[in-house]
Amino acid sequence: MGTLAAEEAHNPLLPPLGEIIIGLIAFAVVMIVFFRLIAPRFEQVFRARREAIEGGIERAEAMQAEAKAALEQYRAQLAEARTEAAQIRDQARAEGQQILEELRAQAQEESARIVARGEEQLAANRQSIVTELRGQIGALAVDLAGRVVGESLEDDARRRGTVDRFLDQLDGMTGGGAPDGRTGSTVFVPGGDR
């Protein structure tokens, strides 16, 4: 019965006291080794990782700030370039308008000069034609008048006076028409005012 009582006194759920003491000593040794050797290494690794992460964050923030500053500078340069381009465009437009006005003025001056030269040339041609016709008409009129009258009109003064009167009458007819309003021709008799 003694063994049975000893067995009943021993609880199977509780380990023997010697094993508990050995387990506690082994646990204490493991904990000392862990805190002395392994924990500082973990701390170093964690610290290095934290510094790397914090440094990366700081570098990222610095790079972000740098990028933001570069973006602001780019925007400022872009706005300045747009303003300068607008000024250049406005200046070019104004210069183009000025050149157009100058070309238009030069063209008008050239046109006026060409018209004036043409009018001068026309007047000179008209005058030379009138002078030439006057001479030819005078000679024909003297010859015709000599045939009609039956006498010779060789006297230069008389002939010149007759031709001038005839041409004056002819100018009067072409300038204002016939004196009686008709457009027909009038008969000229040289020496009729004698």
CB-based contact 60:67 (threshold 8 Å): no
pLDDT value at 111 more than 70? yes
List, in order, residues 6 or more apart from 191 with CB less than 8 Å away. Answer: 145, 149, 153, 158, 162
Rounded-to-integer distance, Cα 112 and Cα 125, Å: 20
List, in order, residues 6 or more apart from 177 with CB less than 8 Å away. Answer: 183
Direct distance between the N- and C-terminal alpha carbons of the chain, in angstroms, rounded to an integer = 203
The lowest-confidence range among 75-84, 101-110, 158-167 is 158-167
Per-residue model confidence as pLDDT tens digits over 30-52: 999 989 988 899 899 989 998 88
pLDDT value at 178 more than 50? no
The residue-averaged pLDDT of 92-101 equals 92
CB-based contact 186:169 (threshold 8 Å): yes
pLDDT value at 127 more than 80? yes
pLDDT number for residue 183: 46
pLDDT number for residue 179: 45
The model's pTM is 0.36
